[in-house]
Amino acid sequence: MTDALRPPGETPPAEGSTAEAHSERPDGGIWEHPRFWLALIVIGCLLVAAFFAVRFIDLLHREPITSRRCGRRP
């Protein structure tokens, strides 16, 4: 006996086909969005770099230790 004819463009079911067995999984949320994590890491790196840059600039504007009185009374 022959199989019934199918309309053009429609694929007949095949033995072992997984097309119908698995439903599409839902969006994994934030875990499937690497741009968010990349942005978070870059922002953290910039904050740490800014902290050390400010400390370095602060050290440049302080007076040298040798000119301080170092706790001696006048």
- Across 29-33, 54-58, 70-74, least confident range: 70-74
- Does the pLDDT at position 24 exceed 90? no
pLDDT greater at residue 48 or residue 19: 48
pTM across the whole model: 0.48
CB contact at 8 A, 27 and 21:
no
Q: Give the pLDDT band (50/70/90) at residue 44.
A: very high
How high is the pLDDT of residue 63? 72
CB contact at 8 A, 62 and 68:
no
CB contact at 8 A, 12 and 6:
yes
How high is the pLDDT of residue 42? 97
Rounded Cα distance, 61 and 55, in Å: 10
Averaged pLDDT of the chain = 75
